[in-house]
Chains A and B, each alone.
Chain A
Amino acid sequence: MTMHPLAWWVWALGLAVAATRTTNPAVIALILASVVLVVLARREDASWARAFRGFLVLGGCIVAIRMLFYVVVGIKTAGAVLVDVPRVALPSWAVGVELFGPITLTGLLVALYGGLRLATLVVCFGAANALANPKRALRSLPPSLHQIGTAIVIAVSVPPQLVTAAAGVRRAQRLRGHEPRGVRGLLSTAVPVLTDALSRSLALASSMDSRGYARPLTGRTDRRVSTLVVIALAAASMGTYGLLDGTSPRWLGVPVLVIGGAAAATASILAGRQVRRTRYRPDRWGSPELLVAGCGVVAAVLLVAATATDPAALDPSLSPLSWPQVPPVALLCAVVAAIPAARAFRRPAERVAT
């Protein structure tokens, strides 16, 4: 058994939170380095692990676009001018937008730092994608989402068969002298594949049904669940509004969201009780999982605490320009974040395998 996928998600989300606390490029670079190190050390040879490259590329694009936009339509503030590009005025429909203008180092750095932070956030998600086995993550869905979860498990398991089926159909149609090309070719492949997939879904449903799938579900809705769900969603709407509208009373923001969250959790537990099922060889949550998840949480807590106590260190001044310093707490945070890369913290079975 390898690491529980949720442990990786907690770790990665912790780092994502940590990364959004700061604009200090040195701190962000440290976090980024920890993430990449752990991914390189711990990822398996699996299809989902290959997505990490894509996330790195996406991160690069985010930084590039941010800087490009600064150069083209950025509001050029005062500061040391790097390149003086003449301004271009736009027609009246684009009021207030000017193209180009003098590019300052400060402006460029603001764009770079902002872009880096967003890119690191994205790369943290990429790390979770690369490390956590998605199919096993699905096993951790709460019981109240059992049925939708089943649909997603099917959706994740079937695509290889669909691709094989499509190849089979195209091959079979050449036997008929029909060379699938263009629109008719698309139809003559898509329709049989879809029809097969649909009849297959009914066969699958019948097999699930006669093996006791969703057996304890009564078909009746639970009034308590309905009430709680409505409360939760109403609280979500109000809470979001409260959060966005700075003029609304304070209680309308976070407190209402917390109430909504509690209602949602209760609804989920109540609804989950209807689903009485057990797990064959359930994924264990042991000390390695605790450690990995703990590293993420600690990293987040460290930086959140640091922003509260010493905000200046994490937001280096750009006017006047100064070299970003690495506060000791950020170094500690990066080290904690990188701990899961160590071989010693693998599950025993994993060590044997590698």
Chain B
Amino acid sequence: MRTAIGSAQERRTPETARPDGDALPLGLRTVVVLGLASVAGLLAFGWPLVLSPGSGLEHSTDAPLVLAGLLVAVLGVVFVSLSDGGIDVKAVAVLGLLSAVGAVLRPLSAGTAGVELIFVVIVLGGRVFGPGFGFALGSTTVFASALLTGGVGPWMPFQMLAASWVGLGAGLLPRRVRGRREVALLVGYGAVAALAFGMAMNLSFWPFQLGTGTSLSFVPGAALGTNLHRFVLYSAATSLGWDLGRAITTGVGLALVGGPVLAALRRTSARAAFGAGARRAPR
């Protein structure tokens, strides 16, 4: 008998060096599905640059509803496909909890100019639990926070898809990098992704916000260069400061909490043994 307040418990210590588990593995089918969904998504985001005269959406009043509805359907189909056959219940629970963390951080940080910590969670989650999980995490986080704050609007499907891309990309970063270089990699990626997120959101809502009557407005069917130029000027005049703030806070946030949070997530990943199921001895 051991003489101690607590008897020693030999516990496995998760090795930090082993590759991360995939909470939501990507098969060939999922890759195809995500690829096609991303094409539809890119069109929906970049519609001001694609739109040509004679299109049914030219007058831009229907576009927010039509494109938002389209993206809701696309995301729905992607998730039907991701969960076809069943997701590991542990992945579902971890997904829920991480989305909750993101959803709590969002209203906490949204009020203060450009501070947006939601990407810290999405990037770290995607990094540790893999690209498929990152994709799901982006959408569920944005959706949950919209439900919690009563922020469901035509912009939500766009935000969901953009945040999903951020998570997906984080999961696709080189896996072998570890230690400080890993945090540096994530900081760089997070800052760029957060900036791109802001620009993409801005692009998709540019025509609605401005109408067609100003010299920064988009011109349906004009040359790509003209519209891009106008868009850059519009961005600089409106949200660029905000987007830069978001990129900086995401980067700083990742630099500060990246190491310890990665360690905590990896411990969970190891304990959860996603999809490992049972190794069985022969009967």
Contact = CB atoms under 8 A, between A and B. Distances in A.
A240 B147 CA distance: 27
Interface stretch (B13-21, B42-50, B191-199, B240-248): B42-50
Interface residues of B, number: 91
Given A144-B80, A222-B85, A245-B52, A154 B57 contact: no
A155 B96 contact: yes
Contact of A20 (B65, B143, B215): B65
A321 interface: no
Interface in A164-205: 183, 186-187, 190-191, 194-195, 197-202, 204-205
Given A138-B147, A159-B103, A240 B84 contact: no
A141 B201 CA distance: 26
A73 B213 CA distance: 9
A194 B257 CA distance: 11
Interface in B209-235: 209-211, 213-217, 221, 229-230, 233
Interface in A137-151: 137-138, 144-148, 150-151
Contacts of A271: 80, 83-84
B148 A159 contact: yes
B265 to A, nearest CB: 7
Interface stretch (B2-10, B33-41, B172-180): B33-41
B52 A244 contact: yes
A193 B186 CA distance: 22
A204 B83 CA distance: 19
B56 interface: yes
B85 A70 contact: no
B103 to A, nearest CB: 6
A243 B55 contact: yes
Interface residues of A, number: 113
A186 B105 CA distance: 13
A237 B96 contact: no
A96 interface: yes
A222 B265 CA distance: 32
A166 B106 CA distance: 15
B193 to A, nearest CB: 21
Nearest to B88: A205
B209 to A, nearest CB: 7
Nearest to A65: B209
Contact of B93 (A65, A128, A208, A226): A208
A122 B53 CA distance: 27
Contacts of A50: 150
A25 B92 CA distance: 47
19 contacts: A66-B210, A73-B215, A77-B213, A107-B213, A118-B209, A125-B153, A152-B144, A162-B101, A202-B93, A202-B268, A214-B86, A232-B73, A236-B74, A240-B67, A243-B55, A243-B57, A247-B52, A247-B54, A267-B80
Top 7 nearest A-B pairs (CB, nearest first) are A246-B54, A51-B150, A154-B96, A217-B86, A155-B99, A155-B144, A205-B93
Interface of A: 13, 16-17, 20, 47-52, 54-55, 62, 65-66, 69-70, 73-75, 77, 94-98, 107, 110-111, 114-115, 117-118, 121-122, 125-126, 128-130, 134-135, 137-138, 144-148, 150-159, 162-163, 183, 186-187, 190-191, 194-195, 197-202, 204-205, 208-209, 213-214, 217-222, 225-226, 229-230, 232-234, 236-237, 239-241, 243-247, 253-254, 257, 260-261, 264, 267-268, 271, 274
